[in-house]
Amino acid sequence: MLVLSRKVGEEIAIDGIVTIRVLSVERGIVRLGIEAPRGIGIYRRELYRRIEELNRQATTAQALPLVTALRSVRLYTVAPSTELPSVPLVEESSMAIDDRPREH
């Protein structure tokens, strides 16, 4: 990790496109001002980690229990404003065979 010391009012340039300025330091809290072009995501690290964690957990979802559960959840009807390019399942393996006993 690169370590730099900066005083209040001083800045750090990253790649010439991002500028971070130390605005104030009070009682252990540093306030930073950040300038960056649009499209660069700037987040508190812990928020980014939380979204990462939720995404990772989402990949473990199993279709059948989730679909079954959602049937008992109140969802609103949505009229699509635009068609989403989607791929239809041509064979629904798990959904079709799910009730069969597992073979080992």
In the stretch 18-47, what mask flags binding to other proteins with x, by CB under 8 A?
A: -----------------------x-x---x
72 counts as binding other proteins under rule CB under 8 A: yes
69 counts as binding other proteins under rule CB under 8 A: yes
Query: DSSP state, 16?
Result: T
Which helix or strand (DSSP H or E) is residue 20 part of?
A: strand 18-26
Q: Smallest distance from the beta carbon of 17 to other proteins, in angstroms?
A: 16
Edge-to-edge order in the sheet of strand 29-35: 11-14, 18-26, 29-35
**Residue listed under structure tokens 């790649």:** 15
The Cβ of residue 63 has, within 10 Å, a number of other Cβ atoms equal to 13
CA dist 5 and 52 (Å) reads 30
65 counts as binding other proteins under rule CB under 8 A: yes
Q: Which is nearer to other proteins, 25 or 34 (CB)?
A: 34
Judged by CB under 8 A, the residue of 2, 5, 66, 104 near other proteins is 66
Provide the binding-site residues for other proteins, judged by CB under 8 A: 41, 43, 47-48, 50-70, 72-73, 75-78, 80-98, 100, 102
